A and B are shown apart, each in its own frame.
Chain A
Amino acid sequence: DAGVIQSPRHEVTEMGQEVTLRCKPISGHNSLFWYRQTMMRGLELLIYFNNNVPIDDSGMPEDRFSAKMPNASFSTLKIQPSEPRDSAVYFCASSFTGVNTEAFFGQGTRLTVV
């Protein structure tokens, strides 16, 4: 398996534009997580899904952020409209659901909003 695949690797966009980040989890994994990493706040969990259903979205900062998982092999994180303070590295991770299962991370999408 190629691991968790995120696209794009880098995204530069203008303030106010819509941004869509994509994630393909490892085949067979049924939990998917979106994290945001910044220097100021470290690694924050935004939302996670079990079996394509959002379980905890309490980390989603504002209504400008939305995440979907239409099927077991694809998820998106959308920011509309984007703002400069959204600039960060966004990671997707996947795992099996269980008591102690390893979360595998993608390489991240570095988002810059100018």
Chain B
Amino acid sequence: DAGITQSPRHKVTETGTPVTLRCHQTENHRYMYWYRQDPGHGLRLIHYSYGVKDTDKGEVSDGYSVSRSKTEDFLLTLESATSSQTSVYFCASRDSSSGANVLTFGAGSRLTVL
């Protein structure tokens, strides 16, 4: 299984401030994903990456941007955090040979926007 670490694990910030969440994987996986988890909504895809510098939008991308300058790192940025972005954020990864989309997840980053 891939080792995926997310940082920070917990963050409290104020409305209007920028926030960056980091995801780091050690398995050389090609695909990486950012999801947010909210009660009743399950996990919803924010952005994903299919290679270095190759990213695309998911279902709920408004207000978020991502960057992937190295295979192992996938950053999620909230340029100006809002209270509606209070959530738990999960990073996941998969390599291109992993048939049928079995994802490996990080432990999550809990973000509170006051």
Whether A associates with B in a native complex is no
Which residues of A approach B to under 8 Å, CB–CB?
A: none
